[in-house]
Each structure stands twice: as structure tokens, then as C-alpha cells.
Amino acid sequence: MSLLPTKPTEPKNEFEFFTTLVYGAPKTGKSTLASQFDKPLFLATEAGLNSLETYNIPIDSWETFTAACAEIAGGKHTFKTVVIDTVDNLWNYCSAYICKKNGIQHESELDWGKGWKLVKDEFRRAITKLSLLPYGLVIISHAEASEIKTRTGSINKWMPTMAKQAREIILPICDFIFYVAIEDTAEGEKRVVRTKPSENWEGGDRTGRMPEELAMSYEAIQTAFKEATALEKPAEKKVTKGAKTA
């Protein structure tokens, strides 16, 4: 049986099927936002869901995480979104698993960076497999302001607090990178979602459809996505018979 496709895939026009990173300072409403996604299942690596009514699996080790992923992949459930809350702790569990498996206390104990590579490869394998399942994936991280040097001085930029090696895996697979924040306005505090990159925060929108700022609610995000999608009219491709296509 041939693995070669016979027709192109259709672009996804439902927001809930994408992979989204949500990060921000503590108590900004990251978990609350994720709980509004379509039928979410939380893989909870830390406390913080006590004020929310959620379906969740407490994750206290890498083994528990991979076992949960296997059960999710089995498909015998009604969940439509998987939420990792938070990926910061999940990376630590992966590191602890690799160290225990190799009889070491820290990744640096293996020569030539082998320990770090083993952790990164194991983490990449599991996260990639999870992201390819037919469910939405929301990945939550905390945020911290890092000083970035520029030609004229320095700026403070909000970045996810996950380990650098985890960031190198997570950011490329995300369709959306949402920085959430609480801002003071004349009317009082306002919770916002930033969708585009800035010199002051990490952001991203692979589709290019979302406005730069949204209210912090799943309804606002989904509505904006649907409205932008409805306005798009893909140009028809005319292919001359016998011509080569990329």
C-alpha cells in the first residue's frame, strides 16, 4: 500500500484543531482561558486548578505523562483539547526520568552533552506525537521579563519560562503563541491576549489571521479567527497540463 498522498490536505478552518502556547505572569488567567477551549482535558503538572471545574489528570512524573498520552491516543474518550499545564514542570519530569534511567543525578554528568541530548530527544518524541493527534493542544508556560541587549542599549522582553531546550522544541510546533497580560486602563484592569511578536514579548500567529490584541476569552479568540477566515478567499491555482508543480 502506497504512502504517497493522492490529494492535498485541506487547511484547518476551526481554531480548536491548532496547537497554541499560552504564557504569562502568574495569576493572569492562563488556566482559566485554557478551560474555555472545546472539551479540554488538563494534564496538570502543578497545582492551580482548584478554583476551576475541569477534567484533569495529575501528572507527577514523565511515566504518568506518557501513559496519559497513550490513553488519549487510544481515542476512547470525548475530549477534544489537551492542555499541558505547565510545560515548565513537564520538562523537569522528563529530565528526572532520563537521569534515573541512566543512573545519574544531572544531565551534565554524561560526556559530550549526551545527557542534554537524551532529554531533548525524549521530550521532542513525546510532544511531537501528542501534537499530531487529531485534537487541539494548548501548552501553558509562565513568563518572565528578560533583559535583551540591543545596539542602542537594552530592553525587557517577556519570554516563556520553560527551559531553553524545551523552548526550541515547543515554539516551532505552535500555530499560535499567545502572551497574556493584565493591563491598567482608565476603566480599570483589562486582561488581553497578544498574538503578534514584539520587541517586548514573544508572540506568533502562523495563519496571519488574528488581530494583534484580543480580549482574554476563548469566545473572543474563536470569533476573531472565524471572522478572519470567512474574509479569506483563496486564489484558484491554474495548472497547465503537463506542467511541473512544486
pLDDT at 239: 44
Question: Considering the entire predicted model, what is its pTM?
Answer: 0.88
Say which range, 49-53, 78-82, 123-127, 164-168, has the weakest mean pLDDT. 49-53
Span 153-169, average pLDDT: 92
Nearest Cα to Cα of residue 182 among 16, 52, 32, 21: 32
Res 27 pLDDT > 50 = yes
- C-alpha 62/C-alpha 68 separation (Å) is 10
Say which range, 7-11, 116-120, 121-125, 179-183, has the weakest mean pLDDT. 7-11
Helix (H, G, I), strand (E, B), or coil: what is residue 71? helix
- C-alpha 4/C-alpha 78 separation (Å) is 31
Compute CA distances 92 → 71, 109, 160, 230, whole Å: 22, 16, 15, 41
187 compared with 238, residue with greater pLDDT: 187
Convert the pLDDT of each residue in 212-232 to its tens digit: 999 999 999 999 999 888 876
Round the average pLDDT of the chain to a whole number and report it: 89
Q: Residue 74, Cα to own-chain centre: how many angstroms?
A: 22
Q: Residue 60, Cα to own-chain centre: how many angstroms?
A: 20
pLDDT at 246: 38
CATH number among 3.40.630, 1.10.3470, 2.60.40, 3.40.50, domain 15-231: 3.40.50
pLDDT at 45: 95
Span 111-124, average pLDDT: 92
Tell me whether strands 136-149 and 188-194 are parallel, antiparallel or unpaired. unpaired
Res 234 pLDDT > 60 = no
